[in-house]
Amino acid sequence: MTAPPTSDVAPHRDIGATTEQLLNSAPDGVVIVDERGTIRLINQQAELMFGYWRHDLIGRPIEILIPQRAVAVHASHRSSYFARPTTRPMGATYQLAARRKDGSEFPVDVSLSCLATARGQLAYASVRDVTYSRLASIVAGSDDAIVGNDLDGLITSWNGGAERLFGYRESEVVGRHISLLLAPEDVNDLPATLRRIAAGSRVEHHESQRVRKDHSVVDVSVTISPIHGLAGTVIGASTAARNVTERKLAEANMLRQAEELRRSNAELEQFAYVASHDLAEPLRTISGYVELLARRYKGQIDEDADRFIAHTVEGCARMRQLIDDMLEFSRAGRAPQLTDDVEMSTIIDQVVANVTAALDEAGGTVEYGELPGVRADPVQLSQLLQNLVANSVKFAVAGRPTRVRIGAERDDDGRWRISVADNGIGIESEYRDRIFGMFQRLHGREAYPGTGIGLAICLRIVQAHGGRIWVKDNEWGGATVCFTLPASEGEPR
């Protein structure tokens, strides 16, 4: 504060010089106000507290010291008080805040008394800044360990959370060095940390370990902040430490379970691959002999024998298709090769060429414009799109030319959302999750051939690329399958 300016506004004439001297010696700020709310006197503590010289305040309305949000109601509170003046203990009625000259606010307790004078009543307000006492209450009641130390590393404060976490009472640690709590590997870093704090920097959410009184080690997340003195210089550090041992154990358990699941899935995939491969050989033998029987003895036994042999041939064919699909499913679970960006337009060209015969038979068309580049395994992406286009052709409405439209748009997270829409029979909403399961069929094999594993393979491929897949309606009355893939690395968001 600079030197006080001169002012023609005088304190209330009933306040003598001796009384003013006594007020200046009071430990709290004192503000004296008349019934109109005009400030008549403040003491030196109030000057320091509010940042005004007294000559700046005497003659001004008391509302200058009140937060803007409370100004509207303060006048009525003041009138009520002067109508029935009483002595109110500090902080008895409200949690109050005051406003400094710079506009900042701080919590206060206020005690009011009434002074009767020949010229009217005066309200005597004793104002106490409770910032530090409230902070101390918060610190004391915190579940986190909060420890203060000076710039030499000597512990200066210790709350209940620190006692519970580390096992030391306050009397056992105040005055001792903070390195008492550090793991050996962190002790050498302490001088650099103290220099960083002294320069005014913070250390936020640093995870390390601390040592308890019983020499056990606890995992903690610490935030270290500088403590500023009255002059604004850094005089120490405050460390807030939170016990994260349970979280660390949970994370380790999750990683262990994920690794076990990964290993189990790999073993299951290997088993499915080997089992499918090993089943194929005897099935080929059985199928070969049954087909030989059908060719050689058809019409030579009886009609029942011909029918039984025909069913066996069909069963072998279905089994062969199931084994092939199981091999495809096991391969779809392998980690995709994301070494290169893939142009979807090139993949679609290949897919359409592969299904040209089926499209021509159904009188169908596949529409697509310019499609983006994606980060995907080209083999798996080709299989994914071919399964979806083939499904659109398979589940067409009889007598209606098949129409398939492929498009792409950017998702909010920067991934590409690919859509394959058709004008087929559609999928009822209650079945849209079920259809991605293994061997799930919504229609009879006679009407729509297949094993019901195609969409399960699609799901596995999309999930292996970190995406998701779902079904929705479209304006044609058919179904639209949407899935997400990561964008090419060089492509802007």
What the chain holds in terms of domains, given with CATH numbers, is 17-129 (3.30.450.20), 134-243 (3.30.450.20), 249-332 (1.10.287), 341-485 (3.30.565.10)
Q: Check whether 68 has a pLDDT greater than 90.
A: no
Measured CA to CA, the distance from residue 459 to residue 464 in angstroms comes to 9
Measured CA to CA, the distance from residue 394 to residue 390 in angstroms comes to 6
What's the confidence (pLDDT) of residue 91?
A: 54
Cross-strand pairs, 481: 420, 471
Angle at 246 between CA 240 and CA 251, to 5 degrees: 110
What's the confidence (pLDDT) of residue 60?
A: 93
What's the confidence (pLDDT) of residue 108?
A: 85
What's the confidence (pLDDT) of residue 211?
A: 94
Q: Check whether 244 has a pLDDT greater than 70.
A: yes
Q: pTM here? A: 0.43
Contact 81, 112 (CB under 8 A): yes
Q: Collapsing DSSP states into helix, strand and coil, what is residue 117?
A: strand
For CA atoms 199, 204, 209, 213, the dihedral sign is positive
Q: Check whether 142 has a pLDDT greater than 80.
A: no
Measured CA to CA, the distance from residue 28 to residue 287 in angstroms comes to 101
Q: Which residue has the tokens 């005009």?
A: 38
When the pLDDT of each residue in the chain is averaged and rounded to a whole number, the result is: 81
Angle at 460 between CA 455 and CA 465, to 5 degrees: 125
Measured CA to CA, the distance from residue 11 to residue 41 in angstroms comes to 6
Contact 335, 464 (CB under 8 A): yes
Measured CA to CA, the distance from residue 103 to residue 66 in angstroms comes to 10
- The amino acid occupying position 321 is Q
Rounded to the nearest 5°, which phi and psi values hold at 85?
A: -70, 130
Measured CA to CA, the distance from residue 339 to residue 377 in angstroms comes to 8
Q: Check whether 6 has a pLDDT greater than 50.
A: no
- Of 356 and 50, the one with more pLDDT: 50
Measured CA to CA, the distance from residue 420 to residue 407 in angstroms comes to 7
